[in-house]
Amino acid sequence: MTTKSLVKVQDASCWFDVSRPWLERVLKRRPRTHLKAVNGVSFTVEKGETLALVGESGCGKSTVARLLVGLYTPSSGHIEFDGQPVSMLRSREGKQLRQRLQMIFQDPYASLNPRWRVARIIAEPLKVHGKMTQAERDERVDALLQQVGLSPTDRNRYPHQFSGGQRQRISIARALAASPEFLVCDEPTSALDVSVQAQVLNLMKKLQQDLGLTYLFISHNLAVVHHVADRVAVMYLGRIVELAPRDALFSRPRHPYTRMLLSAIPDPAGTGQRRIPVAGEVPNPLNPPSGCPFHPRCPHARDICRQHMPATINDGPTQVACHGIKEGWLGK
């Protein structure tokens, strides 16, 4: 790629040590055990686009989000933001960088301090990052409140006085306070009702157009992803199994897991339609299957899938990790 990507993730992994205590390991001769939450993930996010990350619970979506904003440190691999390593975020020099990326969390009830008034919540990033006077900060908070569709008169209220959708707007205002370029949104609408979800999604899209924001949008809802994303990465058990432009992914899904997810969406347009339910569940990530992690649930699995991990290959605009696609025995 010739253009410079805003975010570049190269072969990043995040393993958590979940070993038993030292004495027990010695007595029972058990080795250390690691939970491979994210295992060799590579992707880029271009400036101004929305990359969506989809997958079922436990596939490592949120861990990727936390790696990107520096809340976790990768066990191996590199993550760069605008050419600078994200590992810098934790250092004193990283402060400038931290200002440029922000996160919106899923639960608007848990991510706002219940004892703080809204104005203080939104002004906190301004205090940390900016050199504004109190009056300037007040003015900025009012502007932010208006930008996210709330009123400046809401500034002295507490989070509990707002509904779920309004709280998510407060979270967005707080994230925007430091004028970031990149927002990591971890299931921002999952806790909301559909009509409120539509309001929040529209707001996020409008803000992207007005401010030129770049989003990493994490969701398990494929219909929402279809609505917001430019490109989509599908994760399964800590790996990206398919990454493609939105239209390519939805019109011509390549990986069997993607096909399965697409057929599993209940859609109001398909009244009376029968879906193909998929057998099985996500395996325990502590003890992942050999070879391709999806093979126990895959209807097309062959011997090679059980033995070897598939490499990621390019198939048209799509990047996909599947032996069947690579060797050509799994067509459309």
Stretch that binds other proteins, among 75-83, 112-120, 217-225, 319-327 (CB under 8 A): 217-225
**Is 110 near other proteins (CB under 8 A)?**
no
For 303, the 3-state DSSP assignment is helix
* CA-based torsion, 170, 173, 177, 178: positive or negative: positive
For residues 109 and 329, which CB has a smaller minimum distance to other proteins in the complex?
109
- Cα distance between residue 74 and residue 17, in whole Å: 13
Which pair of structure tokens corresponds to residue 233?
């990465």
Q: How near is the Cβ of 42 to other proteins at its closest, in Å?
A: 25
Residues 253-272 that bind other proteins (CB under 8 A): 260-272
With CB under 8 A as the contact rule, which of the stretches 76-84, 95-103, 216-224, 286-294 interacts with other proteins?
216-224
Shortest reach from residue 57's CB to other proteins, in Å: 6
For 205: left if phi > 0, alpha if psi spans -120 to 50, otherwise beta; the answer is alpha
Q: How many residues bind other proteins (CB under 8 A)?
A: 45
Q: Among candidates 313, 307, 303, which has minimal Cα distance to 255?
A: 313
Query: Which residues pair with residue 16 across a beta bridge?
Result: 35
Q: Which stretch binds other proteins (CB under 8 A): 21-29, 77-85, 132-140, 162-170?
A: 162-170
Taking CB under 8 A as the rule, does residue 273 contact other proteins? yes
Task: Choose between 134 and 271: whose C-beta lies nearer to other proteins.
Answer: 271
Contact of 175 with 103, CB cutoff 8 Å: yes
Q: Does 116 bind other proteins (CB under 8 A)?
A: no
252 is a contact residue toward other proteins (CB under 8 A): no
The sheet with strand 84-85 has its strands ordered as: 34-45, 7-17, 76-81, 84-85
Asked if residue 196 binds other proteins (CB under 8 A), the reply is yes
Strand, helix or coil at 118?
Answer: helix
Please give the residue ranges that form the binding site for other proteins (CB under 8 A): 56-57, 163-166, 193-199, 201-202, 205-206, 220, 222-224, 226-227, 250, 260-275, 277-279, 281-282
